[in-house]
């Protein structure tokens, strides 16, 4: 679980460059606000990365993770579904009982990919504990854990893009399976509390009655 180098770093860098290219169109006050937001969000990312790397290294050295890659991709898919199910309920529990640290994520004055980095360190620790516990319980090999960490990291970035995916019949089907950026943005709207808690799969929201897809459509 080398939570250090990965595709999400590359994606994050590309998005940062894309945003910088858009800079000339911003007013001076918007640029200052953006830089303030980014310095907070990226500082939290550095703290969270240090925690994640330190804790992960300690766990890898002390816990008996399976080393050989498994050939069973259906089991890996099941593992992703189980993880995402726990993330859905973790998110609902945060809103219900642990707002005092989850509100860090909801306290940004703007909305862009950097919001995915605005995570309270307690959340990072809880995330690692969930990841490690489920991986051990399901006897997942370390390569699949590594892959899962990156799938969820990339989804965290993508779901915080301020971008509405064009509405076509195909994307409507996909929306029933995956969390889209605009549905997660809906979750961040203070006027629509307690909706769209999904992380990767959107069907948990549909199943548990927290999907407001019709309002988005
Ligand atoms: Zn939330
Ligand atoms: Zn969010």
Q: Name the pLDDT band for 1 (thresholds 50, 70, 90).
A: very low
Q: Indicate whether 101 pLDDT > 80.
A: yes
Residue boundaries of the structural domains of the chain = 7-166
Q: What is the pLDDT of residue 217?
A: 58
Q: For residue 135, how far is its CA from the centre of ligand 2 (angstroms)?
A: 24
Q: For residue 29, how far is its CA from the centre of ligand 2 (angstroms)?
A: 24
Q: For residue 56, how far is its CA from the centre of ligand 2 (angstroms)?
A: 23
Residue 23: exposure state from Cβ atoms within 10 A (0-12, 13-18, ≥19): exposed
Q: Name the pLDDT band for 3 (thresholds 50, 70, 90).
A: very low
Separation CA 113–CA 119 (nearest Å):
12
Looking at residue 120, what DSSP letter applies?
-
Q: What is the pLDDT of residue 36?
A: 86
pLDDT tens-place string over residues 141-173: 888 888 999 899 899 989 999 888 888 889 889
DSSP structure string for 40-97? HHHHHHHHHHHHHHHHHHHHHHHS--B-SPPS-HHHHHHHHHHHHHHHHHHHHHHHHH
Sign of torsion, CA 93 171 212 185? positive
pLDDT tens-place string over residues 4-17: 445 566 666 676 66
């Amino acid at each position: 679980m080398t939570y250090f180098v990965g595709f999400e770093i590359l994606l994050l860098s590309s998005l940062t460059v894309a945003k910088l290219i858009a800079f000339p169109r911003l007013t001076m006050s918007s640029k200052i606000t953006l830089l303030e937001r980014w310095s907070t969000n990226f500082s939290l990312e550095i703290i969270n990365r240090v925690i994640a790397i330190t804790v992960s290294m300690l766990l890898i050295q002390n816990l008996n993770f399976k080393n050989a890659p498994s050939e069973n991709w259906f089991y890996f898919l099941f593992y992703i579904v189980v993880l995402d199910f726990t993330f859905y309920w973790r998110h609902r529990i945060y809103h219900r009982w642990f707002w005092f640290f989850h509100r860090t994520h909801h306290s940004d004055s703007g909305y862009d990919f950097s919001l995915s980095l605005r995570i309270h360190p307690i959340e990072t620790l809880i995330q690692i504990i969930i990841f490690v516990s489920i991986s051990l319980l399901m006897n997942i090999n370390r390569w699949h854990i590594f892959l899962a960490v990156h799938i969820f990291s990339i989804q965290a970035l993508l779901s915080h893009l301020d971008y509405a995916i064009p509405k076509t019949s195909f994307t409507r089907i996909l929306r029933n399976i995956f969390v889209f950026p605009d549905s997660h943005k809906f979750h961040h709207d203070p006027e629509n509390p307690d909706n769209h808690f999904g992380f990767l799969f959107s069907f948990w929201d549909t199943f548990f009655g927290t999907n407001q897809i019709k309002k988005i459509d």
